[in-house]
Structure 1
Amino acid sequence: MRRRRLYLFTIIFYIIHVLRRCPALSPDGLALLALKAAVSDDPSSSLSEWNQDDYNPCRWPGITCANATGFAYPRVVGVSVSGKNLSGHIPSEIGTLLFLRRLNLHGNRFSGTIPPQLFNASSLHSLFLYDNLLSGAFPAAACDLPRLQNLDLSRNALSGPLPPVLRGCRQLQRLRLAGNRLSGEIPARIWADIVSLVQLDLSSNGFTGRLPPDLGELDSLATLNLSHNHFSGSIPTSLGNLPSTVSLDLRYNNLSGEIPDFGSLANQGPTAFFDNPGLCGFPLMVPCERPATPAAETPEGGRGAEFAAMGNEGRKGISTGLIVLISAADVAGVALLGLLVVCAYWKVRGKEECSAKTGGGGKGLGRRGWCGWPCAEAGEENGEGPSSGEEVYDEEEGGGSGVGGVEGELVTMDKGFKVDLDELLRASAYVLGKGGKGIVYKVVVGNGEAVAVRRLGEGGGGGGRYKEFAAEVRAMGRVRHPNLVRLRAFYWAADEKLLIADFIANGNLSGAIRGRSGHVSLPWSARLSIARGAARGLAHLHDCSPRKFVHGDLKPSNILLDADFNPYISDFGLLRLLSLITSPSSSSANPTSAPSSSSFSSTTGLIGAALPFSSSSSKSGLLERPNPYRAPETRAAVSRFTQKSDVYSFGVVLLEMLTGKPPEMSPSPASSGEQLVPGLVKWVRKVFDETRPLSEVLDPVLLQDGNAKKEVVAAFHVALACTEMDPDARPRMKTVSEDLEKIGSSRK
């Protein structure tokens, strides 16, 4: 008996010892092992380290954990196993991960239906299951989640209609269902409840019926894509109530009738409405047929008989009188219309001048959506929040010392810049560039921070135009974005005018492409990243800056790079400031006229501003020394720079990044009808039109990356769309930015 007890105690001691050395796997770990068990094929062994012998799932690849109140161990908050070609199904046990916030299984081959139990994970706010083989109906249980913000089920095999319970997804910001087999009519009277929706993509499905008018109540919407469906009927006028910067895509449907020329609908280019045979009106330039008003039918022997009985003399008298009356009415109508146009012009002009004098605008920068950059366009792949570089200007923030500003005083435009004038003038400096736009110095101030100081022109001129100059520079200071050079301060005196901006230390895109200044010629991934950043910055300038500015002089030397090759657009609208200090002081001076030819000399760009201006003088340096990055329509004797001309310039820059060739190159003499088209644009377009090998135009450095061919071809198509001869055929910059973000998104 004594020996038996000793044996039993030994066994119990051994069990306790083993349990102490091997703690039990947490419930979260068991749920993850259920996902591993549901995978039937793992070609890259990506889940091989998910091991039941490892009690801590937080160390497993693709798993993110965080401490939770009331629990002695961390809880799983993120599962990201994407692009691994995993086959199998999604198990319902994932729903037991009560602290799970983000589930990312895109780019695999999961099949079957989405289990309703998955949405028991009540903390889930981002679900990315796109690019799989999932089938079944739209998961209505998803709208039971109180925090769901991002739902992407694109490119699967979902079928059936959208359920009306979709109105329960009140916190939803991005809904992407493109490329499925969904059908039926889109539910109406539900969209006004989804007040935070920023992106709605229902393209490439089988939806039918009319477009719900309440889609126009989505006042936070930045992207609405309903293309490649079977929608019919007319376009609701209410869609014009969408934000003015919305990107709308209604292509490849059966819509008919006249496109409403109202609100945001009037801001769309023709590509938003292509391939709807029944649509007409602006901007498709398809005239709408107006039905002829039928003559009033009268009974025989009635009024018609009376007129038939009238003599020829009576008919002639009536006809002549009507002609005189109609002519007089026409003259009066034209005069009245002209008066209204003139009044409207001066009313708008007066507001612009008032805004300029007060440094106006800027309030729109606080709006979320495209202008606030909280979504994927700003850097994070699936847009769960603002990018780390996001900055929103607060007009009440004011500026540093001297924000009121008088002549002879250094005026700062944000509280973070603490340099006084004496310190700036005493600091060590060396010349970075010199040209018609002034001398640019790198100045190291007392705290060791380097800034770029531009001395405008020769320092003199401008007379008494200080107030106009100060208003323009303050407007420049309000333009803030991670891909735009930031202006910090300015100084105005009779003999000196300075602009102080952030110093960007790694040269510019022009040098990086050609391997100058010690740079290694850029690989494709770096070029694509630079193109995306520059597109985001220019799109922000167009749609989200206080005045929806035009750059007017975009080229590689004005796209600066930091140590990590992040792009910064500089010099946007610098010529406008130069016009204020070179033109006579007169209230009647044209605020949009271009400066003298000396102002167009090229120098390394280091600062930014942006105001519309025109090349109104045929004697300007712009015409004497054509800039190959400028759009053809801006090279005429009388022309005006627009946002679409900026898009053209960006397209030429993108072509240069893809080919490594300067835009002036001309493989063959241009015909007289093509003399305004840079040689590079003509050459690339000809290669694509003739379907010749891509290697003929591609930079040899990019040929080394064999996996990037599809992405490079897609980028070429974006560049060619930007460089269309017809400005109306070019996309908006926001659309260009979105298209570049889509390139290579599956590799993220």
Structure 2
Amino acid sequence: MKLFLLFFLFLLLQNPNFAISLSPDGLSLLALKSAVDQTSDVSAFSTWNENDTDPCHWSGISCMNVAGYSDPRVVAIAISGQNLRGYIPSELGALIFLRRLNLHGNRFYGSIPLQLFNATSLHSIFLYGNNLSGPLPPSVCHLPRLQNLDLSQNSLSGSLSSDLANCRQLQRLVLSGNKFSGEIPDGIWPNLDNLVQLDLSSNEFNGSIPADLGDLKSLSGTLNLSFNHFSGEIPRSLGRLPVTVSFDLRHNNLSGQIPQAGTFENQGPTAFLNNPSLCGFPLQTPCSGNPPKSSPVDQQNRETVPDTNSKKGLKPGFIILIAVADAAGVAVIGLLIVYIYWKRKDSGSCSCTGKGKFGGGEGKKFCSGACWNSFPSNDSEVESDKGGSSSGGGGGGEGELVAIDKGFTFELDELLRASAYVLGKSGLGIVYKVVLNNGVPVAVRRLGEGDGQRYKEFAAEIQAIGRVKHPNIVRLRAYYWAADEKLLISDFISNGSLASAIRGKFFDLLLFCSQILNSLSLSLWTSGVRE
């Protein structure tokens, strides 16, 4: 405040009428203009004139009438993306009706002044994308209305204070891309029952993940703790978070088995990547003594085969009965295959030998269980978001594999060489189950030849679908586009299908017959062994 008084006296000596013409809020704002280096482009302050009666017409300033005051008061400062270099003056704390401070995307340096938090009406502070340093002042939670605090992409350091528990109105806390370190203290998160976004990624936090993070009942979107040094096991309490929450725990030192309850059941493998000592589903790293979790399809394909050594002592009569039972089972299965074949009216086949590089002269196909027709290979490139043009519907074209989930990455050749199994067919195309090299299953819907839809239209629709997050909606991970081929890659959910539910009675009957035959076969084997 001493600097502010000196600055005010200096202006008063320069212009005796200054104190009469400019409001107190205007004086505080001029301190911000003076704090910016003149080497910067100061065009953002071109309308800031100290001879104005009030600053409400200055660029980036918003005012409103306040009861009990004759003049409008400053309620918002929005000077972002101007590449301004300077420091944040403490005089801004004198703006007692300031609600929103937005200085992101500049080059402000130095620490965040403690006096800033004297502006007790502040509810949003956006200072991300600057060069600020020093600690996060504990007095930030002296702001009783603070709802949004985004200090990401700076050089702030130090540890988090337990005083954050006093920010009871806080809804968004984004501290990513700084140099914060140390352990996160317990007792903060149960008090923040309005918090909907928490991003502590790309810092230097260590220690264990606080168990009381599971008390953030209002959290939505992503709980982002990635790119830190967290260690120990993942708290099971995180499973109490709302089902719409996605975890991002990548690139830490976490260990032990991933919990399998609550919200954890909705997470994909990308949430836990690059934790070398982490194991369990959905990762393909089994924990010691625990076999990897398998899908119902895998379990259905398993057969119970008796020990070959038990064949000793079987009488010829039993062997004949076993053969008849097996033949009957094969006949039932054959009839089922013929029925499905004619119902689907699939025709044609392909030789799964083409594995040439994408863009080369050879076609590419999915193999093992089902295969695809050749992709186009030698035509012009497709239109992309970065430029270029394409008819979008005529002719073939080299395709583009676009990942919507940036953490879920795989090469196109890997996708094309993977094992694929037909799951179903509809008017929207064929759906395959594809197992990637890392053992992760995905569902691939082949839309087939397009109807002339342009790439940008297709990409915009798919990106919109990819932004939908709901526990009952399968997540879209990536898509492939070419003029005559369109693929959608999503999570594989092994919980049956609508078709099996509709035709459940028919398949239940076949399954019942099959189980009877298997039971008969097993009984005959057992009887033979006993005798």
Percent of aligned positions with the same letter in both sequences? Answer: 52
Q: Tell me which of 670, 688, 695 is aligned to 2:363.
A: 670
Deviations 1:250-275 (A, max 9, x none): 00000000000010012100000000
Answer yes or no: is the 8 Å Cα contact 1:258–1:281 preserved in 2. yes
Deviations 1:533-579 (A, max 9, x none): xxxxxxxxxxxxxxxxxxxxxxxxxxxxxxxxxxxxxxxxxxxxxxx
Deviations 1:275-305 (A, max 9, x none): 00000000002110129xxxxxxxxxxxxxx
Report the 3-state secondary structure (helix = DSSP H, G, I; strand = E; otherwise coil) of the residue aligned with 1:59. Answer: coil
Deviations 1:289-329 (A, max 9, x none): 129xxxxxxxxxxxxxxxxxxxxxxxxxxxxxxxxxxxxxx
Matches within 5 A, 1:216-235: 216-222=214-220, 223-235=222-234
- 1:204 matched to which residue of 2? 202
Shift of 1:53: 1.6
* TM-score (ref. length: structure 2): 0.58
Answer yes or no: is the 8 Å Cα contact 1:666–1:679 preserved in 2. no
* Distance in 2 of aligned mates of 1:144 and 1:99: 15
Q: Which amino acid aligns with 1:702?
A: G
Shift of 1:73: 1.3
- 1:283 matched to which residue of 2? 282
In structure 2, runs of 5+ residues without a counterpart are 1-14, 291-338, 349-357, 390-399, 416-433, 445-461, 470-531
Q: Tell me which of 142, 160, 163 is aligned to 2:161.
A: 163
* Distance in 2 of aligned mates of 1:53 and 1:700: 48
Q: From the superposition, tell whether residues 670 and 144 of structure 1 become closer, same or farther in structure 2 (CA, over 3 Å).
A: same
* Distance in 1 of aligned mates of 2:165 and 2:464: 28
- 1:587 matched to which residue of 2? none
* Distance in 2 of aligned mates of 1:121 and 1:622: 72
Q: From the superposition, tell whether residues 183 and 44 of structure 1 become closer, same or farther in structure 2 (CA, over 3 Å).
A: same
- 1:274 matched to which residue of 2? 273
Answer yes or no: is the 8 Å Cα contact 1:129–1:152 preserved in 2. yes
Aligned residues: 342
Q: From the superposition, tell whether residues 620 and 82 of structure 1 become closer, same or farther in structure 2 (CA, over 3 Å).
A: farther
Q: Tell me which of 22, 25, 28 is aligned to 1:25.
A: 22
- 2:258 matched to which residue of 1? 259
Answer yes or no: is the 8 Å Cα contact 1:227–1:253 preserved in 2. yes
Q: From the superposition, tell whether residues 673 and 738 of structure 1 become closer, same or farther in structure 2 (CA, over 3 Å).
A: closer
* Distance in 1 of aligned mates of 2:340 and 2:70: 75
Report the 3-state secondary structure (helix = DSSP H, G, I; strand = E; otherwise coil) of the residue aligned with 2:83. Answer: coil
Deviations 1:660-714 (A, max 9, x none): xxxxx9985633337866988x87xx99xxxxxxx9444488359xxxxxxxxx9
Shift of 1:719: 7.4
Q: Tell me which of 404, 415, 433 is aligned to 1:718.
A: 404
* TM-score (ref. length: structure 1): 0.42
* Distance in 1 of aligned mates of 2:66 and 2:182: 43
Answer yes or no: is the 8 Å Cα contact 1:160–1:181 preserved in 2. yes
Deviations 1:14-44 (A, max 9, x none): xxxx999996111111111110000014326
* Distance in 2 of aligned mates of 1:91 and 1:677: 64
Q: Which amino acid aligns with 1:200?
A: L
Shift of 1:141: 1.1
Shift of 1:736: 4.4
- 1:36 matched to which residue of 2? 33
- 1:152 matched to which residue of 2? 150
Q: Tell me which of 64, 67, 91 is aligned to 1:66.
A: 64
* Segments of 4+ moved more than 4 angstroms: 18-23, 616-625, 665-669, 674-680, 719-736
- Which has more helix, going by share of residues? 1
- 2:213 matched to which residue of 1? 215
Shift of 1:55: 2.2
- 2:45 matched to which residue of 1? 47
Deviations 1:345-389 (A, max 9, x none): xxxxxxxxxxxxxxxxxxxxxxxxxxxxxxxxxxxxxxxxxxxxx
* Distance in 2 of aligned mates of 1:56 and 1:622: 78
Q: From the superposition, tell whether residues 152 and 20 of structure 1 become closer, same or farther in structure 2 (CA, over 3 Å).
A: closer
Q: From the superposition, tell whether residues 700 and 76 of structure 1 become closer, same or farther in structure 2 (CA, over 3 Å).
A: closer
Deviations 1:713-743 (A, max 9, x none): x99442785996557568999994299xxxx
Report the 3-state secondary structure (helix = DSSP H, G, I; strand = E; otherwise coil) of the residue aligned with 1:228. Answer: coil
Matches within 5 A, 1:581-730: 670-673=363-366, 696-699=381-384, 702-703=387-388, 716-718=402-404, 721=408, 726=435, 728=441
Shift of 1:165: 0.5
Deviations 1:484-519 (A, max 9, x none): xxxxxxxxxxxxxxxxxxxxxxxxxxxxxxxxxxxx
* Distance in 2 of aligned mates of 1:286 and 1:202: 26
- Which has more strand, going by share of residues? 2
Answer yes or no: is the 8 Å Cα contact 2:209–2:230 preserved in 1. yes
* Distance in 1 of aligned mates of 2:260 and 2:385: 47
Q: Tell me which of 118, 121, 125 is aligned to 1:120.
A: 118
- 2:302 matched to which residue of 1? none
* Distance in 1 of aligned mates of 2:118 and 2:178: 25
- 1:76 matched to which residue of 2? 74
Q: Tell me which of 182, 190, 198 is aligned to 2:180.
A: 182
- 1:139 matched to which residue of 2? 137
Shift of 1:190: 1.6
Answer yes or no: is the 8 Å Cα contact 2:366–2:372 preserved in 1. no
Shift of 1:140: 1.1
Report the 3-state secondary structure (helix = DSSP H, G, I; strand = E; otherwise coil) of the residue aligned with 1:46. Answer: helix
Deviations 1:582-626 (A, max 9, x none): xxxxxxxxxxxxxxxxxxxxxxxxxxxxxxxxxx9666789689x
* Distance in 1 of aligned mates of 2:182 and 2:150: 20
* Distance in 2 of aligned mates of 1:261 and 1:212: 18
- 2:478 matched to which residue of 1? none
Answer yes or no: is the 8 Å Cα contact 1:247–1:734 preserved in 2. no
Q: From the superposition, tell whether residues 60 and 667 of structure 1 become closer, same or farther in structure 2 (CA, over 3 Å).
A: farther
* Distance in 1 of aligned mates of 2:274 and 2:35: 44
Q: Which amino acid aligns with 2:177?
A: G
* Distance in 1 of aligned mates of 2:239 and 2:212: 11
